[in-house]
Chain A
Amino acid sequence: MAQKKQVLVLGAGAGGLIAGNYLAANGYRVTIVEKNDYHLFQPGMLWIAFRGHDPERYMRRVTELVKPGVELVKGVVTEINLAERLVKLSDGREFSYEYLVVALGAAYDYDAVSGNRELLEKYGDFFSGAEHARRLWQAFSSMKEGTLVIAAADPGYKCPPAPHKAAFLAAETLRERGLLGKVKVVLAVPFVHEYSSENIARIVAPKLREAGIEVKTMFTVESIDVEKKKLYSLEGEELGFDVATVIPVHRGPLDKVEPETAVDEDGFFKVDKHTLRIEGYDDAYAVGDCNNTPTSKTGVTAHLGGEVVAERIMGYNAVFTGRTNCPLITDGEALFVISDYEHPPVPVRFSKFKRLLEDMFIAMYWPSLRDPEKWSPLFRAYFEATQPKILAKLGW
């Protein structure tokens, strides 16, 4: 009997773990390269930064998240050569592969916006890691008055509802402390409406108003003057702050990719949007935030992408549809931004039921990383039942 092929997975984020573990469950020889000891549940940074949660709640050792047969390599990937089928690490080690799954995520280009590094050092943010989120909590929670500004330098940031969730959580904390009148929360979005999709903006706008959050639209941060405490936008406006946090410009994860044509001008891997194959190669895939698919960079798209890639390697004609399922959480309620390549976001309402579903999805996070094959039928049924094609007519 022919031995199943060897798969090299780069990155132990959601996309990498799901692809790797899924393949391992089906008898493939999998090696995962990861630079960190811990896997961070990224949405947790919102709760660390604005609710003061302990980062430990949102972190697990990578060793606990890989199946027993998977080879885990601790290392930093510095170079990929797709023609030679070679991956190089910072310590000189080289790996060749039969199949490659790139799941290295997006990197942040703090130098694209002047003042970004300085702002990050001073106030932290809810994107760059647990320590930065802690620093933001320290800056935010010590405010007794003034203006907190949450803004973005790049409309293509991962998790489109992130800054909205941040604003809602910040408002919740301020309300609990009786500071809502003293500390103002300003949400500056790089979109024409309160949310990138007008369908959703219409539903979110009243909730933002109710929570006392001020929204500035069409504000994409272009430069920051940390001393003067001012943000300047690409669209020609300025915004003053007492504490500010800016979502940085996103870039692809690697500086050195051969051939250079495999990545776009921002460094994201150019893939076929339905198969996730890196253009020009039938043995290399890119999953999640590191690719250039025309859909949001989110946990769900990484999860679904990981499954599609694993199934394609296994020989099935799995198709990536660009499906999103972004949770927008307010106090006790939530909605999901549901879209795919063929459908802009469908009309949805906030409900307690969706909040419960979201809590269940979060509770399923860790087990579904390690045993994706077990959880796949449940997720599949949910995504089938809530297809944009159906909900576009019915709403939810």
Chain B
Amino acid sequence: MAPPPSSRPSPEAGRTRAPLALAGQTSLRDRLVARDQRALVELIEVASPWLLGLTQSMLRDQDEAEEVVLEVFRIAWDRVGSLGGEHEGLMPWLLRIARNRAIDRLRRRGRWRRKAERAEALGGLGPATAQFQEPDESATPGWHVHEAVHAALQSLPDEQREVVRLAYFGGFTHSEIAKELGIPMGTVKTRLRLAFDKLRVTLASIQDWVG
């Protein structure tokens, strides 16, 4: 995994930008609550690349990834009114739903394991988990957040980052990770906890960029 190029803005940049202003003065969330269909279209435009990136990397199946993204937007449209005002941003909420749905699907199917094993046998990327590769989508809205998060992950020790990759992005359980890495389950738990303790300090102050 290549470190972020030094020419890029620092992770601090992600914390100081204003939420994306998509239409006039009213926040996107307020417009969604008001059942503004144009707001939904705008949300889809701005959030889809990130939701698709996440779900495709987890599921390794484009059709299934698109199904999950549709589910996420349906839930968002139905339930945005119950989203706690200052407690969770709109984009983190969507991403959390998408990740949970993707993990549910991973656990329902057996073939993901076969796919992962086949990819590994072919010298591919290994288990069906995100690799945090450097993409070429720097014009995508939200890119500054990606940079900040990417940098935060890169700052973790390799062994902690690997556990986060398998657990958070791969849907692996403790015991599966322990088996995969050949380490005790207690070590997996400790690494995950330490990694989250570090990440939360860095990530907590990143503003939601979708109003």
Q: Do A and B come from one complex?
A: no
Residues of A within 8 A of B (CB): none
